[in-house]
């Protein structure tokens, strides 16, 4: 009986943990945007280039990420052009993931086990000596299981800092910055291919703008904006 109740408790806790893990994650994305007054309006054209020395604009990963950027910039009215002569400005894309950062912390966790007993009354009818029936009540003491207390556990957490930076510059000799946005996310994930559209979707409203300070936006992985960015890739001119 004791093992049976422990098994049921284990199955309950396992089911709860499985349900918690299957929930859509929410990400807190940091955004720092700054700009200067420009006459860039809807329909302004740009060239998209790599801001990273070791990453070519022709690389497969850059092409994948640039598809997301093109869609995000299109929501601001900006149009990609392959011609430097036709472009009004350039947008340089930089991205990456940091080395793992590990830290230890203490967490209070519940201790499950036997917590006592509770009475269960069972009623049965048995034959009486006079030929009739009589009611017999039996009281059983059944063990109860649950949270017995809490204990502190030393745990290790590893995080990675992912970043995206978009910098718009004029195409004249001065190459002045027109706007700049840095998007960051510190999380236990290091798969930038998964995180890139989520981060960009969270920052979409601030592209070309000015946040005044670093702000944070919470976004679920299944947000409609993420789905829009990850839908069929835009056709490049």
Q: Identify whether 136 is part of a domain.
A: yes
Q: Identify whether 224 is part of a domain.
A: yes
For the cut 90, the answer to whether the pLDDT of residue 55 exceeds it is yes
State the helix-helix crossing angle for 192-203 and 60-74, rounded to 10 degrees.
20
Separate counts of helices (H) and strands (E) for the chain: 4, 8
Q: Identify whether 234 is part of a domain.
A: no
Query: Do 214 and 172 belong to one domain?
Result: yes
Instruction: Provide the pLDDT confidence category of residue 233 given band limits of 50, 70 and 90.
Output: low
Residue 69, domain extent? 24-105+156-229
pLDDT at 236: 59
Summarised one tens digit per residue, pLDDT across range 199-209 is 999 999 999 99
Query: Do 58 and 101 belong to one domain?
Result: yes
The kind and range of the H/E element at 156 are: strand 133-170
Q: Which residues pair with 20 in a beta bridge?
A: none
The CA distance from 29 to 185, in Å, is 5
Residue 77: strand, helix, or coil: coil
pLDDT at 9: 46
Q: Identify whether 216 is part of a domain.
A: yes
For the cut 90, the answer to whether the pLDDT of residue 19 exceeds it is no
For the cut 80, the answer to whether the pLDDT of residue 130 exceeds it is no
Query: Do 134 and 223 belong to one domain?
Result: no
pLDDT at 17: 54
pLDDT at 235: 47
Query: Do 139 and 31 belong to one domain?
Result: no
Phi, psi (rounded to 5 degrees) for 213? -165, 175
pLDDT at 140: 83
Query: Do 136 and 173 belong to one domain?
Result: no
pLDDT at 3: 52
Q: Tokens at residue 235, please?
A: 């056709």
For the cut 60, the answer to whether the pLDDT of residue 21 exceeds it is no
Q: What is the CATH number of the domain that holds 42?
A: 3.30.160
Average pLDDT in the chain: 86
Query: Do 93 and 189 belong to one domain?
Result: yes
2-16, 106-120, 160-174, 212-226: the lowest-pLDDT one: 2-16
Query: Do 149 and 160 belong to one domain?
Result: no
Residue 123: strand, helix, or coil: strand
Query: Do 173 and 198 belong to one domain?
Result: yes
Of 134 and 1, more confident: 134
- Percent above pLDDT 90 for the chain: 57
Query: Do 144 and 202 belong to one domain?
Result: no
Count: domains in the chain? 2
Q: Tokens at residue 55, please?
A: 């990453």
pLDDT at 31: 98
For the cut 90, the answer to whether the pLDDT of residue 16 exceeds it is no
The Cα-based distances of 232 to 71, 80, 195, 219 in angstroms read 10, 17, 17, 21
Query: Do 29 and 145 belong to one domain?
Result: no
Instruction: Provide the pLDDT confidence category of residue 77 given band limits of 50, 70 and 90.
Output: very high
pLDDT at 196: 98
């Amino acid at each position: 009986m004791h093992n049976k109740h422990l098994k049921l408790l284990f199955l309950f806790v396992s089911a709860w943990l499985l349900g918690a893990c299957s929930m859509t994650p929410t990400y807190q994305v940091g955004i720092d945007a700054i700009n200067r007054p420009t006459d860039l309006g809807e329909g302004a054209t740009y060239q998209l280039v790599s801001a990273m020395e070791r990453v070519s604009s022709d690389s497969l990963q850059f092409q994948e990420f640039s598809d997301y950027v093109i869609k995000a910039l299109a929501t601001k009215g900006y149009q990609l052009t392959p011609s430097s002569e036709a472009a009004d400005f350039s947008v340089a894309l930089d991205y990456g993931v940091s080395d793992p950062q590990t830290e230890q912390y203490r967490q209070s966790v519940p201790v499950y086990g036997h917590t006592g007993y509770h009475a269960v009354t069972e009623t049965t009818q048995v034959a009486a000596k006079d030929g009739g029936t009589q009611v017999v009540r039996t009281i059983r003491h059944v063990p109860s299981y649950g949270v017995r207390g809490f204990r502190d556990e030393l745990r290790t957490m590893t995080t990675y800092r992912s970043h995206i930076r978009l910098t718009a510059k004029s195409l004249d000799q001065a190459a002045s910055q027109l706007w700049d946005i840095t998007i960051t996310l510190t999380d236990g994930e290091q798969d930038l291919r998964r995180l890139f559209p989520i981060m960009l979707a969270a920052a979409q409203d601030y592209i070309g703008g000015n946040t005044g300070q670093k702000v944070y936006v919470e976004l679920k992985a299944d947000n409609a904006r993420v789905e829009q960015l990850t839908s069929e890739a835009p056709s490049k001119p």
